[in-house]
Amino acid sequence: MSRNNLIKSIQKSANRLLNEGKEYSFGDGIKLIVKDPVPKGVDLSKVISLITNNIPAQCYTGLDNIYIGQYDVLKRREISALHYDNKIFIDNNQEKEIDFLDDLVHEIAHRFEDKYGEQLYEDGKITTEFLGKRNRLYDLLQQEGEKLNYFDFLNIEYDKEFDFFLYKKIGYDKIRAVAPTLFVRPYAATSLREYFATAFESYYLKGGHTIKKISPNVYEKIRDLESFSEFKPQ
């Protein structure tokens, strides 16, 4: 066997072991633990590579571990990923690497928000930006004849019933149609935290230009935090 073929064989074997219940370390001692196998064809090493190449390590430094598999904490809430108790849990039944990547970056965003929440929200700029967009969405949906409760649109906290209302009763397709440039994606309208997390995802995975236009206050806050000395390479 040639040297190149041997390297490819070793890499293929490593990827198979990773995807079938092994561990992978990255960052400052963080372990990605695959409890239950992911679908055939999903290469988790690509996900790890994209995280380490695109997300500053300081955004996830200090996480305990990342777990992929079937977990009650996900099933009870009917979600595919969760940042909880300084750990990230991700459902293993997802079709593509991008699904795992999106979920992982989204939960890293929540971890980042927990760490830097005071700096993000103390001046009220992101909150004001979010509520302004919520008000605009309310007006646009009213013009479409939707029956709405205005107080739901003033609540910045996550509410499962309101999440269901936007997702199922109104529908994300309709939100995209009436407000195509109001949010990065419709789920961002769910709560202040989801507004920030979806913007964080777009900032690091799609480039800052989109967020600068759609969510300029989030863009500026992330840029400000990146200027802190702890974000700079040692």
pLDDT in tens, 200-212: 999 999 888 889 9
The reported pTM is: 0.85
Contacts by 26-32 with C-beta closer than 8 Å and gap 24+? Answer: 26/51, 26/52, 27/52, 27/57, 27/60, 27/61, 27/63, 28/57, 28/61, 28/62, 30/60, 30/61, 30/63, 30/64, 30/65, 30/66, 31/65, 31/66, 32/65, 32/66, 32/68
Please give the pLDDT value at position 186: 97
Tokens of 136: 């605009």
pLDDT at 62: 85
108-122 residue pLDDT tens: 999 999 989 999 999
* Residue range 92-107: mean pLDDT, rounded: 94
Helices (H), 20-124: 44-54, 72-77, 97-121
pLDDT of 233: 41
